[in-house]
Amino acid sequence: MTEHGNEKRQELEALVGRILEVSARHGASDAEVAASEHTGLSVTARAGDVETVEFNQDRGFGVTVYFGGRKGSASTSDASDAAIEDTVRAACNIARYTEEDTYAGLEAAERMASTVPDLELYHPQPFTADDAIARALACEQAAMDADPRVKRSDGATSSAHTSTRAYGNSRGFIGSQHGTRWGLSCMVISQGETGGMQRDYWYTTARRLDNLEQPQAVGRRAAERAVARLNPRKAPTGTYPVLFTPDVSGGLLSSLIGALSGGALYRKASFLLDSLGREVMPSRYSVTESPLEAGAMGSSAFDGDGVATRAQAFVADGVVASYVLGTYSARRLGLTTTGNGSGVHNLDIAGPTVSAADLRRDMGTGFLVTEMMGQGVNMVTGDYSRGAAGFWVENGEIAYPVEEATIASNLADMLMHVAAIGDDRDRRGNVRAPSMLVEGMTVAGVQA
């Protein structure tokens, strides 16, 4: 942690403390405050020229006050003494007119994070607009040079972002974290001999600049993906295995977590109601989170309620071991928070893995999905129907690209029929999914 990083954290923690004091002075029985500051640089190059250079700096806080079971919230980007007074007063006025909610309130002090370790999320280094321009231009040029069928660029973007967030409440907890996020992306358009055009992209993101893929590699990967999609065909209609690449398989894990989340459960809006102890996946798989992993994209020592996070399994050996709960949803269900008041952190699926080539071989004939479209997931029933594109696989080998297909099943059946997962876990985000092979889905394209 650099000295500048410590100063920012201390500054925001002091701001949170001031706002909590003002809240108590206004008569609130409890209060919680979240403050943040974000700075960023983003450069986009297109057709060999600089298209945009954007600098941003945002700062603000939100306060929630409680008068027993009544609560009110307000926020502002102004941290002056007068603005703090006005914002707290507004939150208090809202609280006085809201209905009593017996489940509302802060978590017990003993569940707050007692320490906030350095999770190695902050890795700043000198980086100017000229540096970003050079990286974006190099990335785009590599894409255009990779294949003559790449005809046009939709832009390459290089970015650097720094964020500091602090949270505190009247249970005595104030904590903060500081992080950097570096990124580089490229999107290009390819054209085949018959005139058809296809668009695709690639991106890299990391906490450290030197952990990004090189600009030339990102550009070439974007070009390879766009060219591979040329001259697509329809998929045959029928029941086939479907292999989801890491780009899209994270959606399956996110849907699982959504169905296990306290908000969906207490609203009776989940296909996994009363599922604790129920088998939902093959016994060789577990779904876990690792919030304290050093340097990872989703790491955090405390959740949105100030509760200490911990490594845990939501599905253990195929069986639901825990719901995903924050303070409020846990109370609604008569359970205890799992430290997920702001969602999950570094979600993984664990189990035996095989290579991508072996997954295709095991699939035999089926649909390799690389892109999903639409929002056709019913979380109440689990019914699943979405547009998809990718590649048709025959005898374990890619046969031709596919577009305008639909895949359908039920999420409960899909999870139980995960046949294999790959060794290609995508670590670029908070849900770190590998390739996932699901048996027996309906594929709708053209009649074979």
pLDDT at 220 over 90: yes
The reply to whether 282 falls in a domain is no
Q: Tell me, what's the pLDDT at 397?
A: 95
CATH label of the domain that carries residue 33:
3.30.2290.10
Both 192 and 158 in a single domain? yes
Both 297 and 204 in a single domain? no
d(CA 179, CA 5): 9
Shortest CA distance to 28 belongs to which of 128, 192, 170, 224? 170
Both 121 and 245 in a single domain? no
| Helices 129-146, 215-228: inter-axial angle, 10-degree rounding | 40
Q: Tell me, what's the pLDDT at 4?
A: 59
Both 362 and 419 in a single domain? yes
The reply to whether 246 falls in a domain is yes
Rg over CA atoms, the chain? 24
Both 22 and 149 in a single domain? yes
Shortest CA distance to 293 belongs to which of 303, 285, 301, 283? 301
Both 347 and 295 in a single domain? yes
CB 263 within 8 A of CB 338: no
The three-state secondary structure class of 260 is helix
The reply to whether 319 falls in a domain is no
User: What's the pTM?
Assistant: 0.94
Burial of 288 (0-12, 13-18, 19+ CB in 10 A): middle
The number of residues in the chain equals: 448
pLDDT at 1 over 70: no
| Single-letter amino acid code for the residue at 296 | A
Q: Tell me, what's the pLDDT at 5?
A: 63
The reply to whether 309 falls in a domain is no
pLDDT at 385 over 80: yes
Shortest CA distance to 33 belongs to which of 7, 8, 13? 13
Using alpha carbons only, give the angle 12, 329, 342 rounded to the nearest 5 degrees: 35
Q: How many domains does the chain have?
A: 2
The reply to whether 364 falls in a domain is yes
* Beta bridge mates, 31: 65
d(CA 188, CA 184): 14
Helices marked H in 236-346 — which ranges? Answer: 246-260, 262-266, 327-333
The reply to whether 336 falls in a domain is no
Q: What are φ and ψ of residue 166, in 5° steps?
A: -135, 145
Residue 26 structural domain:
3-228
Q: Which two tokens stand for residue 331?
A: 């109370």
Confidence of residue 74 (pLDDT cuts 50, 70, 90): very high
Strands 353-354 and 418-422: parallel
Q: Which two tokens stand for residue 419?
A: 């046949």
The reply to whether 322 falls in a domain is no
Using alpha carbons only, give the angle 301, 307, 311 rounded to the nearest 5 degrees: 55
Q: Tell me, what's the pLDDT at 376?
A: 86
The reply to whether 283 falls in a domain is no
Both 264 and 411 in a single domain? yes
Both 57 and 7 in a single domain? yes
Both 191 and 246 in a single domain? no
Both 159 and 252 in a single domain? no
**DSSP for 194-227?**
TS-EEEEEEEEEESSGGGSPPHHHHHHHHHHHHH
pLDDT at 216 over 80: yes
CB 112 within 8 A of CB 170: no
The three-state secondary structure class of 12 is helix
Both 214 and 255 in a single domain? no
**DSSP for 86-107?**
HHHHHHHHHHHTSPP-TT-SPP
Q: Please, what is the average pLDDT of the chain?
A: 96
Confidence of residue 2 (pLDDT cuts 50, 70, 90): low
Both 380 and 432 in a single domain? yes
pLDDT in tens, 158-200: 999 999 999 999 999 999 999 999 999 999 999 988 889 999 9
pLDDT in tens, 86-129: 999 999 999 999 999 999 999 999 999 999 999 999 999 999 99
